[in-house]
Amino acid sequence: MSSSPRVIKDAQSVDVPATLYHYTNQRGLLGIIQEQRIWATHTQYLNDRREFALAIGTLRAEVDQRLREGGDNGFKAMLDAISGDRPTDQQVSCLREMKEYLSTDGLERVNVCVCSFSAVRDSLSQWRAYGGSCGFALGFSGKDIRAAIAPERHVLVRCVYEAALQRAIARDLIKELLEENLARVGDSEVNGPPCGNLAAYLNKIAPMFKHESFSSEAEWRLITRPMRSGSSDFGFREGQSSIVPYCKVPLWHKGRFPLVEVVIGPTIDPERSAAAVQTLFISHGLKGVTVTVSEVPYRQW
């Protein structure tokens, strides 16, 4: 978005915690340390497909609300508020186009990728989900992550669990799209995507939405800009049921990798695991990284 509406902008600019933790297994730890990049998974290949459906459902509900308020008059009232003039039938048609597009699969074809972090340092639910018999919570400087990804136009945002705020964000997104549609109506030289940039915008916002039952995870997400399939950072990896599109995101900022702490997850041999991690860091020139062991009484062996 060229100039995000206020609610969206506020949600995307919340102050980041001093340290954010990325929970992963041994393979993930080795890949991140060896490459000093982090993997972000395509939004349509995350573990829970319902997350994307939540955002689409919220946006649909806001559009339908305008219809219930008086058919096309509800849409026209929104357009009036933006343009200051009575909208034409062609302008209203643009809004109908948006509603119809929300029911197609075109929204899922945009290459936006996501990597998850948590503000919680030693989380039982995260160990259960990602740790296995030997997991790790990699603690990164939140400010350094945000600064490192800014030049690539990726964002680091806190997940939104509150339904009321999700609806407010959806309303802002509708307003932004209507402004774009109004700007391009009648311009024969504009050949933009259907409904302006609905697919790209929604793919940037949808990863922020999570059901309130997950609020204890205090999740933050690195969300990439829409990527070209031919980009050097975009690739494919093995998945459980299909190959998975993903991209590798460099995290270097001002000449340093912003890893500040690693928490060793519950494991049968924590002392030896910690020693191996410290040796791994030395071999890759990483200094000043604190290595600690989880205090969660959880056993998976």
Q: What is the pLDDT of residues 216-260, one digit of tens each?
A: 999 999 999 988 888 888 999 998 889 999 999 999 988 899 999
10: pLDDT confidence band, cut at 50, 70 and 90? confident
Compute and round to an integer the Cα radius of gyration of the chain. 22
Reply yes or no on whether the pLDDT at 195 is more than 90.
Answer: no
Q: Dihedral sign for Cα 138, 143, 146, 148, please.
A: negative
Closest CA to 195 of 116, 283, 266, 99: 99
Q: What is the pLDDT of residue 6?
A: 73
| pLDDT tens digits along 125-181 | 999 888 677 899 999 999 999 999 999 999 999 999 999 999 999 888 877 777 776
pLDDT of amino acid 123: 93
Distance CA 142, CA 139 (A): 9
| 99-121 average pLDDT score | 82
Beta strands in the chain (DSSP E): 19-24, 37-42, 113-118, 136-141, 155-158, 219-223, 234-237, 244-250, 259-264, 290-293
Among the residue ranges 64-73, 119-128, 195-204, 285-294, the one predicted with the least confidence is: 64-73
The span from the CA of 204 to the CA of 200, in Å, is 6
Q: What is the dihedral of CA 87, 93, 97, 100, to 10 degrees?
A: 110
Cβ neighbors of 81 (< 8 A, separation 6 or more) are none
State percent of the chain over pLDDT 90: 47
User: Across residues 279-297, what is the average pLDDT?
Assistant: 94
pTM check: above 0.75:
yes
| pLDDT of amino acid 227 | 86
End-to-end CA distance of the chain: 48
Buried/exposed code over 265-283 (b: 16+ C-beta within 10 A; e: otherwise) = bbbeeeeebbeebeebbee
Give the residue with greater pLDDT, 186 vs 35: 35
23 pLDDT higher than 80: yes
Cβ(207)–Cβ(41) below 8 Å? no
In 3D space, the residue among 38, 45, 43 whose CA is nearest the CA of residue 233 turns out to be: 38
What pLDDT does 144 receive?
Answer: 96
CA–CA dist 95, 195 (Å, integer): 8
- Specify the DSSP element, H or E, that contains 55: helix 50-68
